[in-house]
Amino acid sequence: MDHLTELENRSIYILREAYSQFKNLCMLWSIGKDSTVLLWLARKAFFGHIPFPLVHIDTAYKIPEMIEYRDRLAKAWGLNMIYGQNELALQEKNTFPDGKIDRINCCRLLKTEALKQTLSGEGKRYRLNHATGQYEVDTNNEPYTGVIVGVRSDEEGSRSKERYFSPRDKNNDWHIGDQPPEFWNQFKTDFAPGTHVRVHPLLDWTELNIWEYIQREQIPTVSLYYDQGETKRYRSLGCWPCTKPVESISKNVAEIILELKSGQFANIAERAGRAQDKEDGGGLETLRKEGYM
Amino acid sequence: MQEELMNIVVVGHVDHGKSTIIGRLLADTHSLPQGKLEQVKANCERNSKPFEYAFLLDALKDEQAQGITIDLARCFFKTSQRKYLILDAPGHSEFLKNMITGAAHAEAALLVIDANEGIQENSKRHAYMLSMLGIKQLLVVVNKMDLIQYSQEKFNRIVADYRLFLNHIGLTPVNFIPVSGMQGDSIVALSKNIPWYQQQTVLETIDSFQKSQPLTQKAFRMPVQDIYKFTKKQDDRRIVAGRIESGQVSVGDKVIFYPSGKMSTIASIEAFNAPKKLQSIEAGYSIGFTLAEQIYIKRGDLLVKEHEQKPEIASRIQVSLFWLGKSPLVMGKEYYLKLGTTKVRAHLEKVLHVMNAASLESKASTTVQSHEVAVCLLKLHSPIAFDRPENNELTSRFVLVDNYDIAGGGIIQHALEDNTDWMREKIQERNANWITSDISREERAEKYGQYPSLIIITGQKGSGRKTLAKSLERALFAQGKKVYYLGIGNVIYGVDADIKNTAQETRIEHLRRFSEVLNILLDAGQIVIITALNLTQDEVNFIKEATLCQRLFKIWMGQEKTTDIQENLWIKDKLISPEELVNIQMSLKNKINVSE
The CATH number given to whatever domain includes residue B237 is 2.40.30.10
Query: Quick check: B62 and A158 CB within 8 A?
Result: yes
Q: pLDDT (tens digit, 9 = 90+) per residue, A122-171?
A: 999 999 999 999 999 999 999 999 999 998 877 765 666 778 998 887 77
- Which of B101, B225, B232 lies at the smallest CB-CB distance from A20? B225
Q: Looking at CA atoms only, how far is residue B282 from chain A in angstroms?
A: 10
Whether pLDDT at A201 is above 90: yes
Q: Looking at CA atoms only, how far is residue A135 from chain B in angstroms?
A: 21
Q: Is residue B255 part of a domain?
A: yes
Give contacts of A217 with chain B, Cβ < 8 Å: 273
What is the helix (H) or strand (E) element at residue A42, kind and residue range?
helix A33-45
Q: How far apart are CA B357 and CA B371, in angstroms?
A: 8
CA nearest to B70, candidates A49, A62, A177, A244 = A177
DSSP string, B327-344: SPB-TT--EEEEETTEEE
> Using alpha carbons only, how large is chain B's radius of gyration in Å?
30
Q: Is residue B549 part of a domain?
A: yes
Q: How confident is the model at residue A283 (pLDDT cuts 50, 70, 90)?
A: very low
CA nearest to B123, candidates B292, B232, B10 = B10
* Residues 65-124 in A contacting B (C-alpha not used; CB under 8 Å): 78
Q: Is residue B195 part of a domain?
A: yes
Same-domain pairing of B367 and B473:
no
Query: What's the confidence (pLDDT) of residue B47?
Result: 80
Q: How confident is the model at residue A284 (pLDDT cuts 50, 70, 90)?
A: low
Q: How far apart are CA B89 and CA B86, in angstroms?
A: 9
Give contacts of A197 with chain B, Cβ < 8 Å: none
Query: What's the confidence (pLDDT) of residue B70?
Result: 36
Same-domain pairing of B238 and B102:
no
Buried-state track B552-576, b at ≥16 Cβ within 10 A, e below 16 = bbbbbbbeeeebebebbeebeeeeb
Same-domain pairing of B333 and B267:
no
Whether pLDDT at A212 is above 90: yes
Query: Quick check: A157 and B100 CB within 8 A?
Result: no
Show me where the domains of chain A are located.
3-205, 207-277
Q: Is residue B362 part of a domain?
A: yes
Q: Is residue B437 part of a domain?
A: no
Q: What is the mean pLDDT of chain A?
A: 86
Q: Is residue B116 part of a domain?
A: yes
Other Cβ atoms within 10 Å of B67 Cβ, number: 11
Buried-state track A14-36, b at ≥16 Cβ within 10 A, e below 16 = bbbbbbbbbebbbbbbbbbbbbb
Candidates A7, A8, A15, A161: best to mutate against B (most CBs of B within 10 A) is: A161
Q: Tally the domains of chain B.
A: 4
Q: How far apart are CA A284 and CA A162, in angstroms?
A: 13
- Which of A46, A180, A283 lies at the smallest CB-CB distance from B228? A46
The DSSP bridge pattern shows strands B397-402 and B335-339 to be antiparallel
Query: What's the confidence (pLDDT) of residue B258?
Result: 94
Last residue of a domain, one of B374, B403, B418: B418
Cα B142-B148-B150 angle, rounded to 5 deg = 70
Quick one: average pLDDT of A51-61? Answer: 92
- Which of B2, B225, B284 lies at the smallest CB-CB distance from A4? B2
Same-domain pairing of B54 and B151:
yes
Same-domain pairing of B477 and B511:
yes
Q: Is residue B462 part of a domain?
A: yes
- Which of B62, B100, B285 lies at the smallest CB-CB distance from A183? B100
Q: How confident is the model at residue A47 (pLDDT cuts 50, 70, 90)?
A: very high
Domain that includes residue B506, residue range: 446-592
Query: Quick check: B63 and A283 CB within 8 A?
Result: yes
Q: How far apart are CA B376 and CA B562, in angstroms?
A: 29
A3-205 falls under which CATH superfamily? Answer: HUPs (3.40.50.620)
Query: Quick check: A9 and B270 CB within 8 A?
Result: no
DSSP state of B2: P
Query: What's the confidence (pLDDT) of residue A278?
Result: 58
Q: What is the dihedral of CA B461, B467, B472, B475, to 10 degrees?
A: 180
Q: Is residue B423 part of a domain?
A: no
Same-domain pairing of B118 and B257:
no
Same-domain pairing of B197 and B230:
no
How far CA B315 is from CA of B138, B291, B430, in Å, comes to 35, 28, 19
Q: How far apart are CA B410 and CA B405, in angstroms?
A: 15
Q: The domain spanning residue B61 has which CATH number?
A: 3.40.50.300
CA nearest to B310, candidates B452, B428, B139 = B428
- Which of B73, B104, B237 lies at the smallest CB-CB distance from A160? B73
CA nearest to B132, candidates B322, B396, B385 = B322
CA nearest to B288, candidates B333, B361, B206, B225 = B225
Please give the single-letter amino acid code of residue A151: V
> Using alpha carbons only, how large is chain A's radius of gyration in Å?
18
Query: Quick check: B404 and A217 CB within 8 A?
Result: no
Same-domain pairing of B81 and B151:
yes
Q: How far apart are CA B459 and CA B543, in angstroms?
A: 16
Query: What's the confidence (pLDDT) of residue B221?
Result: 98
How many CA within 13 A on the CB side of residue B404?
A: 16
Same-domain pairing of B62 and B27:
yes
- Which of B60, B230, B286 lies at the smallest CB-CB distance from A9? B286
Query: Quick check: A184 and B399 CB within 8 A?
Result: yes
Give contacts of B403 with chain A, Cβ < 8 Å: 190
pLDDT beneath 50, residues of chain B: 62-72, 596
Contacts for B234 with CB less than 8 Å, ≥ 6 apart: none
Query: Quick check: B284 and A47 CB within 8 A?
Result: no
Quick one: average pLDDT of A103-120? Answer: 88
Same-domain pairing of B364 and B398:
yes
Do B552 and B454 meet the contact criterion of CB atoms below 8 Å apart?
A: yes
How far CA B463 is from CA of B141, B458, B572, in Å, comes to 71, 9, 8
Last residue of a domain, one of B183, B208, B233: B208
ipTM of this complex = 0.90
Counts for chain B of helices (H) and strands (E), in that order: 14, 26
Asked if A261 has any chain B CB less than 8 Å from its own CB, the reply is no
Q: How far apart are CA A25 and CA A147, in angstroms?
A: 6
Asked if A223 has any chain B CB less than 8 Å from its own CB, the reply is no
